[in-house]
Structures are given as structure tokens and as C-alpha cells.
Structure 1
Amino acid sequence: MEEEITSYDSSQRILLVGEGDFSFSLCLARAFGTGVNITATSMISIRHARQVNQNAIRNLSELDALGCTLVFKVNVYTMIRHPLLKNKTFDRIIYNFPHSSLIDVKYEQEFRLHKVLVSGFLKNAKGMLKHDGEIQITHKTTYPFTLWNITGLATSEGLSLVGKEKFDKKLYPGYDIKRGAGPQCDETFHVGESSTFMFANLYKDVMEKNKKKTFKDVLLNENMFLN
């Protein structure tokens, strides 16, 4: 029997990247009653995660008991080649509140690094996505965060926006949104107005429906030219 929470269900193979204290992964696993189809990853080591996140030890222990796959030192720029992730595909690939994790840099540089991070994630994630899967990024939707242009970055990677839902933290009991970097990495922050952006590689679907046409013809017919 499939168990659900919002748009996720226990039958989906789910990859989470950039987890802080792993509370979002645990929220899903608790709702499903199992974590066997969940792969939760962090860019830091398990030792570091336990040191900097006060709830990490408890959360990781419960996730392990629920059968979740835990993978550490996963860099979103290269995750498609990670020994424990390569050749695997997922129904949902989730990155909540991406952040470049660098501090003490000029605003312009930080802004550029945020966009480079998201692009790097999307470039890898699209190669790890099942045919009908979705890449999901939850992100603030107020200025200056709108300048990240999440949808434009996805379009540049050949992905199409297939949905956008307002993010409501109350729908995910137990989820603690952490800063994730620097001396305040274990502190929560106010997300304000945020949404979950859902992307899919629709070019594959279009090409299958138009096998006898050239790629240029398909783009013309589907109004897919990028500006």
C-alpha cells in the first residue's frame, strides 16, 4: 500500500541533496513508514554532520532503521559520477533552499555562485532522472531571491517547468530548515514566501512523439526555442 505526503509517495524513488540535519528526509520516511526508496545525501561527512547539527545523530539513526540510504560527501556538481549514485535513476530529485555555502564574499560574487550552484545541480540531476520524473527546487520567491531566475536556469539545461506550488512548512512535520553553512549552520531561518519549482525533461517526450521529424522541426512546432 502506497503512503503519501503532499506530492510524494512511498513508491517513488526519491533523491534528496544538500540535507542539513536530515529532518526533511526523516519527515518523508515517517510519513511513508519506510525509507527504502529514499536516498538522502549531504555535501559533508557523516562525522561533520553529527558535529555541527545537534539533531543529526538522532535523525540519521532513525533513517537508518527505516531503511533509508544515506550518502555523504556528495557534491552536486559531480553527483552523477558518485560511486554510490552513478547509474541510478530517480522519480524525484529534491533540493530544498540551495545555497552556495560560502560566506565573507562580496554580494555580487555570492549571487553568481548561487546561480552556478543551481545550474550545476540541474546539469547533474537531469541525467539521474527517470523518464517521467521531476526535479524539484524549493526556493524563496521574494526579491532578491527572484533574481536567481530558477526557471531560466532550468530552461538553459533543457528542462521545462511543469508545476509550481507554494511551500508550506506546516505540511512537513518535524522539518527544521537550517542555514547549512558557516558558524550558524545549525540555526533555523525564516523562509518567508517560498515555492517548490518542478521541472521535467519534456524534450524526450516531444522527440518520441515526433520521431520522423528533425530536432529543429520539433522545436519549431512546440515553440521551444530558447530566447
Structure 2
Amino acid sequence: MPPKKKKLKTSLKNVLNLAEAHKREKYKQQSHQARIAQTKQKQKTHPKHGRKPKFTSTDRVLLIGEGNFSFAKSIAEHYMASNPGNIIATCYDSEQMLYEKYADEAKSNVATLKELGVTVLFEIDGTKLRKYKDLRKNRYTKIIFNFPHAGAGIKDQDHNIRANQKLLNEFFASAVPLLSKEGETSREMHVTIKTCKPYDLWDIRTLAKTTGKAIKTTFPFHPDIYPGYEHRRTLGFKEGVSKGENAEIIKADPKTFVVVRKSAMEAEKERSKQGAIKRKKDLQRQALLGKKKRKHLFNPKAESSDDDDDNDDDDDDEE
């Protein structure tokens, strides 16, 4: 190859490499700016974590152990406003006992829920869900149990922990048969508990594992992303004695554990694995195509060969 032509080829290659590097750097900067914007948007949504619950139009939700039904009302009005009839909200107390504990706020919330089309059921034991005809006739994508507590008034900490572990074990066993079938969309149990002592000693991860379940993910529970929600203790609410504005749970850093069947978790891991393999193959294919394209650009011999063919055709035409 003549020196001048070789030098021209090298210069062209350098220009293309610089252009490609500039393109990569520009893409990197744009991605960085997009992440910053996304983070700012999340912080605007919520200063600590920005995570809001995800509900879809096809979700069928079962709420266990509602206190004053303010959580159910918040979900129905702000997250499932298009399909509140897909919610069943339950509590352990009788209707009379509920109103004695939580007075007018519970009456108002229950009335609103019924107006919205939400099914409200009383005297539902979260550890014996299959015995209720109104519950077992359906299958649910999400079964939510916020701040479960045996409420037995046990003073001994070890006995108290075991009582609440028993409650959770029985809830899992009772809830799993009511989850929607394998192959459908999300099928999850959401259990929210405080993370301070002695609640952290309940060891929900081990409980899930030893009962054939798995923790899919966890996320902080911030009550202010549920407008109108007011946490209430099992024993009820007393003005001037009980803490209002969710102060009790905020200081306890509550966390929501998303519990699924172990088989569902394994299937999801396999899907993620196959997805990663596919993405890797796609990247390799794109790299190979790019390499071929660059090789074509830097192969003037092939182009000159084409030119020669064209000239031959012209000569034939002249004859």
C-alpha cells in the first residue's frame, strides 16, 4: 500500500475512533443526568426512598388485621381507585368491638369503603383464612398484613417472640392457598413489622425459609405515602394516651417483607438468568455487527475492486 494511502487510512481510523469515543462519553453523560433526574423525582415523591406501592388494574387484594381501616381506605382511594371492588378488607374484631376501640374514625372509614365497593368483613382470623367462604372463593395477587401482633399481653420477651412467630407461621400457611395460581402475575404476601427490638427478633426471614417460602424483597414502610393512614394498636386508641400521627411506627423504622412461594422465587431467578443470557448474546451480536461494519469501512481494496468491475462494464457498453 502506498505511504500516502496508508497514512490517509490511519487518519480516517483515528477520526472514527474519536467520534465513537465522543459518542460513548455523550451517552454516559446523558445516562448520568437521567439518573440524577430520576433520583430527584423520587426524592420529590418522598425524601427518604420514593417508593410507592405498585398495584395494577388486575390486582385482587386481601387485607388482613385492619385496625381503623384507614390503610384500606388509602389504598382504595389512591392506588386502586379504578378497581376498589377488587379489595377485601378484614379485621379480627367484631363490628361492635371495632367501633368501641376506634370510635367514629373506624365507622367513617368503613362507610367510605362500602360506598367505594370494597368488601369489608369482620371477625376474620388471619391464621384460618380458608374456613371463610367469602375468602376462599377467590384467589388474590396480594395478601397484606400490616403490623401483625398476637396481642396476648405476654410480659416475658421470649414467650412473646414465640407467640408472634407462631402467628406469622400460621398466617403464611393459611394465606398461601389463597394466592393466585402459578403462571399468573404477582402472587405475594406483604408483611410489615417494626425493625426495633423485640420485633427484629421475630426473624421473619428464617420463618419464611423454614416454611417453604422466600423473601422476594424488602422496602421501608413510610406511612406518609398512604394519605389518610393512621396506625392504631391492637388494644385501640385513647386520645391523649396513644401516639397520633403515626409517631409510634415512624420511630421504629418499619419494613415491609414481600413473601412468595419458594417455587415462584426459583422460577423468577431462572427467568432473570435466561434474560441475562439473552442480553449478553444480543450485546455480542451487536459487537460482531459493529466489527464487520468497521472492517468494511477500512477495506478500500474491496471498494476499488467494485470500481474496476464498473469500469469493465463501461468498456463493454462502448463496444
State whether TM-score is above 0.5.
yes
Give, as a single letter, the amino acid of the residue that structure 2 aligns with 1:163: T
Aligned partners of 2:102 and 2:237 also within 8 Å: no
The separation in 1 between residues aligned to 2:120 and 2:193, in whole angstroms, is 24
The separation in 1 between residues aligned to 2:178 and 2:116, in whole angstroms, is 24
Aligned length: 206
- The one-character-per-residue Cα deviations of 1:22-42 (angstroms, maximum 9, x if unpaired) are 000000011132520100000
Give, as a single letter, the amino acid of the residue that structure 2 aligns with 1:60: V
Aligned partners of 2:101 and 2:236 also within 8 Å: no
Match of 1:175 in 2: 229
Residue 95 (structure 2) pairs with residue 46 (structure 1): yes
The separation in 1 between residues aligned to 2:146 and 2:265, in whole angstroms, is 27
Give, as a single letter, the amino acid of the residue that structure 1 aligns with 2:65: G
| Unmatched tracts of structure 2, length 5 or more | 1-51, 271-319
Residue 149 (structure 2) pairs with residue 99 (structure 1): yes
Q: How does 1:78-89 map to 2 (within 5 A)?
A: 78-89=128-139
Q: How does 1:181-220 map to 2 (within 5 A)?
A: 181=235, 187-188=242-243, 190-191=248-249, 192-203=252-263, 206=266
Give the match's secondary structure for 1:36.
helix
Match of 1:72 in 2: 122
1:157 is displaced (CA, Å) by 1.7
1:187 is displaced (CA, Å) by 3.7
Identity over the aligned pairs, expressed in percent? Answer: 27
My pick for the range that moved more, 132-141 or 57-66, is 132-141
Higher strand share: 1
Match of 2:73 in 1: 26
Match of 1:149 in 2: 203
- The one-character-per-residue Cα deviations of 1:85-119 (angstroms, maximum 9, x if unpaired) are 12321000000011001115432222211111111
Aligned partners of 2:214 and 2:265 also within 8 Å: no
Higher helix share: 2
Change (3 A) 1:195 1:71: same
Match of 2:311 in 1: none
The structure with the larger Rg is: 2
The separation in 2 between residues aligned to 1:117 and 1:156, in whole angstroms, is 14
1:145 is displaced (CA, Å) by 1.5
Give the match's secondary structure for 1:113.
helix
Aligned partners of 2:195 and 2:255 also within 8 Å: yes
The separation in 2 between residues aligned to 1:167 and 1:104, in whole angstroms, is 26
1:169 is displaced (CA, Å) by 1.1
Which of 25, 31, 36 is matched with 2:85 structurally?
36
Give the match's secondary structure for 1:90.
coil
| Unmatched tracts of structure 1, length 5 or more | 211-227
Residue 18 (structure 2) pairs with residue 7 (structure 1): no
Aligned partners of 1:41 and 1:72 also within 8 Å: yes
TM-score in terms of structure 1 length: 0.82
1:165 is displaced (CA, Å) by 0.6
The separation in 2 between residues aligned to 1:183 and 1:39, in whole angstroms, is 24
Aligned partners of 2:130 and 2:136 also within 8 Å: yes
Aligned partners of 1:166 and 1:196 also within 8 Å: yes
Match of 1:219 in 2: none
The separation in 2 between residues aligned to 1:104 and 1:144, in whole angstroms, is 13
The separation in 2 between residues aligned to 1:178 and 1:171, in whole angstroms, is 17
Aligned partners of 2:215 and 2:258 also within 8 Å: yes
1:128 is displaced (CA, Å) by 0.9
